[in-house]
Structure 1
Amino acid sequence: MTPEGTLTSSVTENSMQSIGVALEELLVAAQKQECLTIGIYESAQLLNADPDSVVLCVLAADGDEADVALQIHFTLLQAFCRDSSITILRVSGLRRLRQLLADADDDNQRQDGDIHCILVTNPHADHCHLREVGTYCQESVDQWIPELVLQEH
C-alpha cells in the first residue's frame, strides 16, 4: 500500500469512528429527551401514523444475522423512509447498541427487546450531532443505504 493509501485509510477509519461516537451521543441524548421509538413493530406504527415526526431511522443488525423476516422488514422500512425523505442508516454492533441504550435507560427495559429499528423523532428538538450523522449519510453516495459499525468500548 502506498503512503497515500495508508493516509486515506486512516482518515476514513477516524471519520467512521467519529461518526460512530456522534451517533451514540445522538441516540443517548434522544433517549433522555424521550425522542426514540425502539422496535420494528413500534417504528412501523409511528411511521404509519406520523412520518413527519421522524428525523432518522437506524436499522441495526450484525452481519451474521440472516433472518429472512428481518431483511423483509428492513426492506419495507427502507422503502417507506425513502418515500418520506427520512434519513436512513444501517448499523452493525448490536451488542454495543444494546449496552448504550441500557446505560441511558434508567429502567433498563430494553435489555432483551427488539432494537433492530430505532427512530429518532421530534424534528423540533435540539438533537446533538443529528446534522453530522445526516451529512455522513448524504455523503455516502457510493452506498444505497449508508452503513456504520459501532465499536465496543
Structure 2
Amino acid sequence: MTLEENSGENTSERMESVAQALEEVLSAALPQGCITVGVYEAAKSLNADSDNVVLCVLASDDSDKHDVALQIHFTLIRAFCCDNHIDIVHVANMRRLAELVGGAKAGGEPLDLHCVLVTNPQMSSWKSSALGMLQRFCRDSRRWDQWVPLVHLPER
C-alpha cells in the first residue's frame, strides 16, 4: 500500500495542495530573508545553525542525474538533514523553483538552485499552515519509507 492509498485522499489533489504549500512557504520566506540558495551556501548554513532550518528543498533536472559531484552533495545533505530531523523534499521543476526564489544573482549570474533551505527568522516565531502541511507530508512520507518525497511544482 502506498502513502496515497493509505491517506484516503486523491493523489493528484494531495500533490497539488503540497505543491501549493511549498510555493506558499518559499514565497513567504523569501521577503523575510529566510531562504538560503545553493549547495555550498546551504552546507555552510547547516553547519553554522542547523537548528534554525525548517525545510530543505533539493532540486534537479534530468541532466543532473549524471553529475556525480552533485549526487554526492545530495547524499551528504540528505544524511545531515535526516540526522538533524530537518524535513526534505525533492523538486524536479527547477525553472518554476527559479521563478519562486529568483533565478539570478545581482550581476545576472544564475543561482545554484540545487539546494534551497528555509530557515526561521530571528525576530519572531514564523509558523504557517503551509509549512505545517509540508511537515505532515514529509512525516507521512517517512512513515512509508519515502525519505525524500518528490513534489511537482506546476508551471504557471
TM-score range, shorter chain: 0.7 to 0.9
Stretches of 4+ moved more than 6 A in 1? 107-111
- Shift, 1:129, TM fit: 0.8
Aligned residues with identical type, % of pairs? 47
The residue that corresponds to 2:153 in the other structure is 150
What is the rounded CA distance, in whole Å, between the counterparts of 2:75 and 2:63 in structure 1?
17
Please say which of residues 115-124 and 11-20 is displaced more in the overlay. 115-124
TM alignment of 1:4-153, pairs within 5 A: 11-66=10-65, 67-102=67-102, 112-122=110-120, 124-140=125-141, 141-153=144-156
Q: Unaligned 5+ residue runs, structure 1? A: none
- Shift, 1:109, TM fit: 7.0
What is the rounded CA distance, in whole Å, between the counterparts of 1:76 and 1:57 in structure 2?
12
Q: Deviations over 1:119-148 (max 9, x none)?
A: 110172234511001111111124131111
What is the rounded CA distance, in whole Å, between the counterparts of 1:133 and 1:110 in structure 2?
31
TM-score for the superposition, normalised by structure 2 = 0.83
What is the rounded CA distance, in whole Å, between the counterparts of 2:145 and 2:24 in structure 1?
25
What is the rounded CA distance, in whole Å, between the counterparts of 1:95 and 1:15 in structure 2?
22
What is the rounded CA distance, in whole Å, between the counterparts of 2:17 and 2:108 in structure 1?
25
Classify the secondary structure of the residue corresponding to 2:61: coil
- Shift, 1:113, TM fit: 1.0
Classify the secondary structure of the residue corresponding to 2:116: strand
Is 1:30–1:127's contact at 8 Å kept on the other side of the alignment? no
Q: Unaligned 5+ residue runs, structure 2? A: none
TM-score for the superposition, normalised by structure 1 = 0.84
Matched pairs, number: 144
Please say which of residues 17-26 and 120-129 is displaced more in the overlay. 120-129
CA RMSD after TM alignment: 2.4
- Shift, 1:68, TM fit: 1.0
Is 1:58–1:118's contact at 8 Å kept on the other side of the alignment? yes
Classify the secondary structure of the residue corresponding to 2:88: strand
